[in-house]
Amino acid sequence: MDAKAIAKSNLDQALGAWIDYLNQVRINELVAKLASQDGNLQDSLDALRSTVETIGDRIIQTGRGGEKGMHGFIAEVAEVGIGNARKLINGEKPFCEWIDNNGPADIKIDGIEFQMKFVESGGSFSLEAIRCHLEKYPDFLRNGGRYEIPKDFYDAVKTLASMTEEEARKLSRSGDGYSPRQYRMVQDFLQESGITLDDIEPSLLEYDEVQQAAIGETLAREEENLRTVDQSLRDEAYEESLPTIAEGFQAAIVSAGIEGASAFAMALGAKLKEGKSLRELEPEDWSEIANETGLGTLKGGVRGASIYALTNYTATPGAVASSLVTASFGVAEQVNRFRNGEVSEADLYVNAEIVCLDAAVSALSSAIGQAIIPIPVIGAVIGNTVGSIIYQTAKDGLSTKEQQILEEYDRKQKELDDRLSAEYRALVSELSADMSTYMRLLVDAFDPDPHRALVGSCELALELGVSSDEVLDSAEKIDDYFLN
């Protein structure tokens, strides 16, 4: 039994299994992130749809706030719903709460109470409404409260507050843009009220976006934005899961170090087995050891880089990739021996075939061991050890006829494996297509728009096998079902 060859084969397969493990870690992280993002998207859309229901049921249908004040309540609910949805799409916890008690605060954001002022009358960008509120609740700011105004109002206030007197004199009085009166109003407010821009924050929405006639379109647009963010997060997760030059370089360095150290240990051990002690080693001996170590280091670097490239860019398993590299080194060595006249052409072919067969057995044994013992690296090493021992025993002891039988069996097993793999990929592809169709129909069936939901429900029923006669897909069928 060639223990040295088995040890070298174990080392090669261990490196392949380790690189395979690095790749699998990235894939597992990607799958986990995508699964988590599925939940994030659903939670985010649920928060947005709950906002739609609350605005419709508790504000618009009840006429809350009247014709002039309804948009203020819509703004409160929309701010909470959109704010939470944007957090949830990123996997963060909701942070907004609608207080709804007619008290000094309308909403709470990260534990801070906010009074929202969406007042257009008077052209004061809601600042006069803030002044009136502070007069009614003088302790509001001292107790940690803050104010929130429409985003477009805040931008205007911030711009006017930062202007100099010279810049203000250049403002137009024709109504196309800010006016000197607005500049003076903002400056006076900040100087006289004791309120600073730090006490005021912009809303997520502008004034026009929270009006009764516009809120539906605003929320629909927000849903599109959430889906865009969701897709960008998925794309980002995919990009992070891709192999990188840095990781490939790391694999090459580690492989070079391990194989170089192994080559040094084996070369030194061979010298010591000759009966020499460390003190008795000559410069020529150390030169040979250094050459072996350098060659092993070089091979290790090439092996690590090659396995990393094969496993990531050609979908080759680590055990197979390692064996391919080993076989390549072995064949190259035989070619070099042939060129130096050490072996004949016939021996070259036979030796190359043996090298490839040994590598194939190593790959198969490692793959089986990793499957039976799903522990990274350990399973591959144990499988390779057992397989190599069995193979060497069989190679030495089996007759030609028995080896032919085993080769025929291996061929049939490979054909069966290829066929089953093809069938498996076809079934997975078919299942993926069916699930994609089903999820699209399911989303349509529960669409907030009742007309789209009705059409989607009919399509979903037909897809699930319901008879077309039983599906209420026309006004006549609906009338007949409920009236007769």
Written as six digits, the tokens of 145 are 């409260």
Same domain, 378 and 248: no
* Integer angstrom CA distances of residue 474 from 13, 329, 453, 454, 466: 65, 72, 14, 10, 15
Same domain, 42 and 186: yes
Residue keyed to tokens 């080693």: 281
Residue 114 domain flag: yes
Written as six digits, the tokens of 348 are 């070259």
Same domain, 148 and 231: yes
Q: How far apart are CA 263 and CA 266, in angstroms?
A: 5
Residue 29 domain flag: no
Domain boundary at 236, 256, 274, which?
A: 236
pLDDT at 338: 74
Q: How far apart are CA 133 and CA 137, in angstroms?
A: 6
Same domain, 80 and 117: yes
Q: How far apart are CA 273 and CA 265, in angstroms?
A: 12
Residue 167 domain flag: yes
* Integer angstrom CA distances of residue 190 from 187, 200, 322: 5, 11, 72
Amino acid identity of 181?
Answer: R
Residue 418 domain flag: no
Same domain, 252 and 161: no
Domain that holds residue 440: 427-483
Same domain, 157 and 287: no
Same domain, 85 and 165: yes
Q: How far apart are CA 373 and CA 106, in angstroms?
A: 60
Residue 324 domain flag: yes
pLDDT at 1: 47
Let me know if 80 is exposed, middle or buried by CB neighbors in 10 A (0-12, 13-18, 19+): buried
Let me know if 359 is exposed, middle or buried by CB neighbors in 10 A (0-12, 13-18, 19+): buried
Q: How far apart are CA 4 and CA 10, in angstroms?
A: 10
Distance of CA 365 to the CA centre of its chain: 33
Report the 3 state secondary structure along the chain.
CCHHHHHHHHHHHHHHHHHHHHHHHHHHHHHHHHHHHHHHHHHHHHHHHHHHHHHHHHHHCCCCCHHHHHHHHHHHHHHHHHHHHHHHCCCCCCCEEECCCCCCCCEEECCEEEEECCCCHHHCCCHHHHHHHHHHCCCCCCCCCEEEECHHHHHHHHHHHCCCHHHHHCCCCCCCCCCHHHHHHHHHHHHHHCCCHHHEEECCCCCHHHCCCCHHHHHHHHHHHHHHHHHHHHHHHHHHHCCCHHHHHHHHHHHHHHHHHHHHHHHHHHHHHCCCCHHHCCHHHHHHHHHHHHHHHHHHHHHHHHHHHHHHHCCCCHHHHHHHHHHHHHHHHHHHHHHCCCCCHHHHHHHHHHHHHHHHHHHHHHHHHHHHCCCCCHHHHHHHHHHHHHHHHHHHHCCHHHHHHHHHHHHHHHHHHHHHHHHHHHHHHHHHHHHHHHHHHHHHHCCCCHHHHHHHHHHHHHHCCCCCCCCCCCHHHHHHHHHC
Is the whole model's pTM more than 0.75, yes or no? Answer: no
Q: What is the pLDDT of residues 2-43, one digit of tens each?
A: 555 656 665 666 676 777 777 778 888 888 999 999 999 999
Same domain, 83 and 207: yes
Low-confidence ranges of the chain (pLDDT < 70): 1-14, 16, 173-176, 315-331, 348-349, 355, 357-403, 406, 434, 438, 441, 445
Same domain, 218 and 175: yes
Domain boundary at 380, 397, 414, which?
A: 397
- Please count the structural domains in the chain: 4
Same domain, 329 and 309: no
Residue keyed to tokens 């509120």: 133
Residue 295 domain flag: yes
Residue 447 domain flag: yes
Residue keyed to tokens 């990531």: 312
Domain boundary at 214, 236, 258, which?
A: 236
Residue 365 domain flag: yes
Same domain, 91 and 151: yes
Same domain, 202 and 272: no
